[in-house]
Amino acid sequence: MTATATRVLVLNSGSSSLKYQLLDMHDGARLAAGLVERIGEETSRLAHTPLATGGDTRETEGPIADHTTALKAVAAELAADGLGLDSPQLAAIGHRVVHGGLQFTEPTVIDDAVLTEIERLVPVAPLHNPANITGIRTARALRPDLPQVAVFDTAFHTTMPEYAARYAIDVATADAHRIRRYGFHGTSHAYVSRRTAALLGKDPSEVNVIVLHLGNGASASAVAGGRCVDTSMGLTPLEGLVMGTRSGDIDPAVTFHLKRVAGMSEDEVDELLNKKSGLIGLCGDNDMREIRRRIDAGGEDGARAQLAFDIYIHRLKKYLGAYTAVLGRVDAVAFTAGVGENAAPVRAAALAGLEQLGMAVDEDRNAVRSDEPRLISPEGSRVAVAVVPTDEELEIAQQTYALVSA
């Protein structure tokens, strides 16, 4: 790496998508961002925004067969802006990797051995790790000389104590199959808990924070003095809160029942709980904006949307209560991600009636729309309630750069 190499390309590879951002860690500036969707289909689409020049988003449609072709197309777009992958200013590529198991507790420079370990985790993350691995292989092939860093979604949660991470099932079976609670969205929980401490003018080690990451996927975490002590997602991202399309917590016997009584196959149950449950299963919509619109419109349809909303809120309240008990003292509750950052009615409803826990929302503050971290609790509240926009790409870029520039 040359002294002038301060740029980091962040890659987030999904099964049929590739999201990317190019950041300059010299000043944190975002130089370019984009997304390739529907990889492997006839109707693939690449949308590239040259943020450095303030230019318009360029969209290209047409078949992109695989991740290698996708990354080459992204590289061409970046090169057209003078930001190509061959630039000496590029310091590293940071990859989001969903599952790092127990072994990856920190961002890690990728070599063959690391890649093999990530592959060994595929059985516990069959939907996510293969796509991340493809992204890594592709990027390494394009720039074999460049440091590539894996930043794991699970890493922040590896500090959970054993009694929070273990399921109460037969230990030998659990250990043989690596069944335990790993937690996800860790990059976001790490970033938001730290940013919340900064908002309070404190060091992360001084504060206890409950982070509510409410996007299409949703998870809560209890963070004590900067370390995660509990989180709502488990072996997979299915456990915990009610999500856009996932059930969250459920009696595991429901799955036996679906198989034995409803005659569903393993794959059908998997699909039901991951894709056809949560808000979409309850009311047919997984977008909180649409759900609020239906509630406001009233009638029978509004009542159905209201029930979905109420179930979503009830689960959130249960986690707020549980994590208050886990932490003993809560200094802040932080809302983040699509719903948490934008849906004021969700924030108000989740904290309604929790005054005994020192938690409340100021109506006027809650109504303010902003991209900045902000407090929405009334002046003098025992617990600070905050809206803190997450920035997983910046966190990945910072962790990557810290590692390669050390």
Which residues does the annotation mark as catalytic?
153
Spatial neighbors of 107 by CB under 8 A, at least 6 apart, are 94, 149, 150, 151, 152, 155, 399, 400, 402, 403
Say if CB 320 and CB 334 are below 8 A apart: no
Please state the closest distance from residue 164 (CB atom) to ligand ADP, in A.
Answer: 24
Say if CB 212 and CB 178 are below 8 A apart: no
Based on CB atoms, which residue is closest to ligand ADP, 47 or 142? Answer: 47
Please state the closest distance from residue 279 (CB atom) to ligand ADP, in A.
Answer: 8
Within 33-111, residue ranges assigned H as helices are 67-80
> CA-CA distance, 334 to 341, in Å (whole number)?
10
Residues lying near ligand ADP in the complex (CB under 6 A) are found at: 215-217, 244, 286-289, 337-339, 342-343
β 332-336/227-231 pair status? unpaired
Residue 47 amino acid letter: A
> CA-CA distance, 217 to 213, in Å (whole number)?
8
User: Which residues on adjacent β-strands are paired with residue 7?
Assistant: 24, 90
Please state the closest distance from residue 114 (CB atom) to ligand ADP, in A.
Answer: 26
Question: Which residue has the closest beta carbon to ligand ADP?
Answer: 338
Please state the closest distance from residue 282 (CB atom) to ligand ADP, in A.
Answer: 13
Helices 129-142 + 67-80 axis angle, to 10? 50
